[in-house]
Amino acid sequence: MKRCSHLTFAEHVIAFNKSLQFTAPLPEGVRAMNPFVENPQALAASSEFYRKYYNDRNPRRMILGINPGRFGAGLTGVPFTDPKRMKERCGILSYDGPNAHEPSSVFIYEVIRQYGGEQAFYRDWYINSICPLGFTTPGKQGREINFNYYDRADLQNAAKPFIVESLKRQLTFNIKNDVCFCLGTGKNAAFIAKLNKEYGFFTRVIPLEHPRYVIQYKSKNMQFYVDKYVRALKSHAAPQD
């Protein structure tokens, strides 16, 4: 895939985020969530974030989650980064949107801390989700709740062309495609493995337990999973070239 080298990594990501649109028909009861259109804070804060940590043309490897949630990237525009960590850990103090706590963000930023901090981590890694826009559906009391792209077969089929095109575009940002880490060892891993077999995006896809799973079901063993992440990521973070 042809790489565009005249832009910084940050400007590639910002332009990508600005252009995101989900235009395919959606199953009844499912809504696409686009924070970069719906929430001006998300575009402004995420742009500041990327210019702070990705203002270079260095290569990075990808980490792919599922799809954005309402209280993380749905507010800040940065995957696995809730408002609290956006301000306290990343120093993006211009964010003045709604405050929220996202459990997955707690885990990821502990991994980042033990990896060596934000500068070291984001120098090596670019995190997004296999589906870079999220979905919601009405909950039991009528409030919107997060909905994963794989929760319904018809939604997964509707999202696939958008997913494929989005990934193709991101791989032109100077992404090293020898390895990709997939967050989620179940349905997300199975979907990405099948997609990768079809399109050959990465030489190897390595699944890791999803942060939400760790926080919700394995919190007593959180350090075990943090160590597992850090070892895995460091073992594949070759020196920049």
The confidence band for 241, taking pLDDT boundaries of 50, 70 and 90, is very low
Grouping H, G, I as helix, E, B as strand and the rest as coil, residue 131 is: coil
Give the span between the Cα atoms of 28 and 141, in whole angstroms.
Answer: 18
Which of 4-8, 46-50, 88-92, 181-185 is predicted with the least confidence, judged by mean pLDDT? 4-8
H/E stretch holding 176: strand 175-183
Mean pLDDT over the full length of the chain = 94
pLDDT at residue 64 above 60?
A: yes
C-beta separation of 175 from 60 below 8 A: yes
pLDDT of residue 228: 98
* Segment 33-51 mean pLDDT: 94
Please give the domain boundaries of the chain with CATH numbers for all domains.
25-235 (3.40.470.10)
pLDDT at residue 154 above 70?
A: yes
pLDDT of residue 238: 58
pLDDT at residue 3 above 70?
A: no
pLDDT tens string 175-214: 999 999 999 999 999 999 999 999 999 999 999 999 999 9
Give the span between the Cα atoms of 154 and 206, in whole angstroms.
Answer: 26
pLDDT of residue 151: 95
* Segment 54-63 mean pLDDT: 97
pLDDT tens string 90-126: 999 888 888 888 999 999 999 999 999 999 999 999 9
Q: In one letter, which amino acid is 98? A: P
